[in-house]
Amino acid sequence: MLHSFLVLLFGLGLTAARLTSETEIDVDEGRDWDIVDINEGAGLDLLEGDIKLEEPLTRNIIIGDKYRWPTTVPYYLEESLEMNAKGVILKAFDQYRLKTCIDFKPWKGEKNYISVFNGSGCFSYVGNQRVGKQQLSIGSYCDHLGIVEHEFLHALGFWHEQSRADRDDYVDIMWDQIKPDKKNNFKKHDDAVSTALGVPYDYGSVMHYGKMDFSIGSEPTIVTKIPQFMDVIGQRMGFSASDLTKLNRLYNCTSSSTFVDSCDFEEDNICGTIQGPGKAKWKRRSSVRGGPKTDFTNMGQCQGKGYFMHFSTSSAKTGHQAFLESRWLYPKPGVQCLQFFLYSTAAADDVLNIWVREYDQANANGKLKLFKSISGGVQGSWELQNVNLNVTKKARVVFQGVRGKRQSKGGFSLDDINLSSTKCPQHIWHIRNIKGQMAKTPPGKKLFSPRFLSTAGYSFQVGVYLNGLSSNPDYMALYLHLTSGPNDKKLKWPCPWQMATMALMDQQSDIRQQMNMHQMITTDPNKKSSDGTEFFWDDPRKVGSKVTDSDGSVYYRGPGYGTSTFITHSRLRSRNFIKGDDAIFLFSLEDISHLLKPQSLPHSALHADASLFKAADQGAPEEAVINPKMLGLLKAADQGTSQEVVINLNMLMLLKAADQSAPQEAVINPNMLMLLKAADQSAPQEAVINPNMLMLLKAADQSAPHEAVINLNMVGLITACVAAAVLVVSLVMIGNICGKKKGKGELSDDVLIIKHVPGSLEEYPTKGSFFTTP
């Protein structure tokens, strides 16, 4: 109970004691948040819980081709997003690229694009609305891979799975258990206006409601007609196989962007692999006397199936070699990840080499390049291997087995090979006999991984509560800890913007079918203890505790940051998270500090401000309502402009003065607000305004209290600003202001170039300088 109380206390930010290795902060406050929970907590009332719908649009979006995006979708990450959310979104894009033909690229001025922002909850429109900037919210608690994939599937044209026309054949909706004002969320979509694309009902879809969504109490709102699927519906691990089938059919995908090859050796053609030169050979086997007894794909569970490739070093002579070469492969130039499972019963001096044979005009027979050598030795189990490749041409992957001099009783066995144009996880943690460990481990007892080094040199480890905390004993809990290491004196502290990706591997043979369970954590160097005296991600020697490892080594372990609801035990037993009584975790710790810099806006997005302000100041001033904080938002909104923009000095000073001293009562021309709101939807492509500015202006107008009025003096200020903007346009076009001519290249003394610097505005006079207009 004490441990649970401390975890809750820390999770609520109420700690007062100094940070130690026992300190644990729960990013989800001890709750297993689903999208419905997040959005209800944020006070949102959206269609089906997370769908934005503009009238008079109807629910036939998935049918109409005009609502499809191109297979390469433009996106913009707004500055409001949290750093961890940005990293998770990019990881979700990697999953789309790996498993579908859908790709995402930064917005470069395309007419329609998805703008992702930190709103109140997680929500999206369904399909391409063709409105220019289409918003998608990834707010607090939404930064989970499955949730991000879910919201982008909405944007790509998907409704919820339980809204299908045939859903009553598979689930029962418990209407008496649904909150009265939420029953409309359980309406079905008629098959005349929505389609399942010929795919059977999918209990495991990432688009399916959970069993308790919108419940009035503790009873479920959805009951599956097949009982064993009650704890399956509502998963947010990632795409199911049916999700991928539907998406690929919807967009006519025939291949994915980054997937290259997968082989489990179940087919007689052994995936097109060939034997290379050598006196020894690789052979297809279902078992070997010295081990393995089964393949890895099926673990002996499928009679008549279960094959792997084996090179027997026990029967080969010293120095003999065996080559197993893949078919010709055409990966995208750059980094690739080769994953495979290896079972070694070879002698310690036997070697398995991984080569790539690249072909070009100068090397018609291919040129070999070595990427990894693995020494033999009896392991007695299937072990996952990751090898980072760098292939730029047509190539084959080559597995070379070499017989050493020592006596061997076995050899090398290979199974479940995957190649993709992605980065490999940095580290692997193989937990053996996990069922036995769970049977004897009480809640609240923590199992620590070995310590690992990131590519930047930070040392870290992961702590896992196999049976959770006493407050959540039906879950596995997971926490990241920084630890002291060999590079600490050279590193920056507090640790800045390193994103940890911790994934429990779904050990499916084909990487496209894996539904790994992910948790991402980012080290914010500004995060402090609740009393403000210590930095949470500081050097573990300062904010950690000295610990002694089982091998006698001594080091410092910092506080933990993670979740007590990582995965339920029922989900842990599903899929292939546990295979052969083993579980595998994949870890990476990567620098994402580059995401601090705002995403660059297209050149065309910098043109519209002056013309919009000029048009806005037409018509008689009338009293209108606007949020008194609007000017502060104006000042903060136009962040992310990566190029220099010109603004009149008077306008700058007036805006600054207004932000600091504007009275609570004021009046502003309503036409100006109307035009600014309309600009986001109707502005031509060559006259686009900063999307952050538009979002904030729209929010300011919508959220204004009726009693908030601006005085008439503000009209004068705004009018002066508008006039100044018009003068600037004239200056750019004819090189003078108010008839005062300058020499070529000169600017008025009243003009500044405002250059964006993160967190500030940089001002400097421009008299005598040159500039290029956008």
Type of residue numbered 158: F
**Distances from the Cα of 730 to the Cα of 468, 641, 741, 771, angstroms:** 67, 22, 12, 15
| Residue 241 in tokens | 């196989």
Paired strand residues for 582:
579
Paired strand residues for 736:
741
CA distance 252 to 74: 19
Identify which of 271, 337, 429 has the alpha carbon closest to the alpha carbon of residue 97: 337
Q: Where are the beta strands (DSSP E) in 487-540?
A: 498-504, 517-522
Q: Are 47 and 35 a contacting pair, CB within 8 Å?
A: no
CA distance 322 to 312: 9
> Quick one: how many helices (H) and strands (E) in the chain?
14, 35
Question: Which residue carries 């920056």 as its tokens?
Answer: 492
CA distance 125 to 106: 19
Q: What is the DSSP letter of 294?
A: S
Q: If 0-12 CB within 10 Å is exposed, 13-18 middle and 19+ buried, where does residue 530 land?
A: middle
CA distance 766 to 746: 8
Could you tell me what percentage of the chain is helix, strand and coil, using 3-state DSSP and rounding each to the nearest 5?
25, 30, 50
Q: Which residues are catalytic?
A: 151
CA distance 26 to 7: 7
Q: What is the DSSP letter of 19?
A: P
Residues of the binding site for Zn(2+): 150, 154, 160
CA distance 340 to 511: 10
Question: Which residue carries 């964006």 as its tokens?
Answer: 756
Residues of the binding site: 150, 154, 160
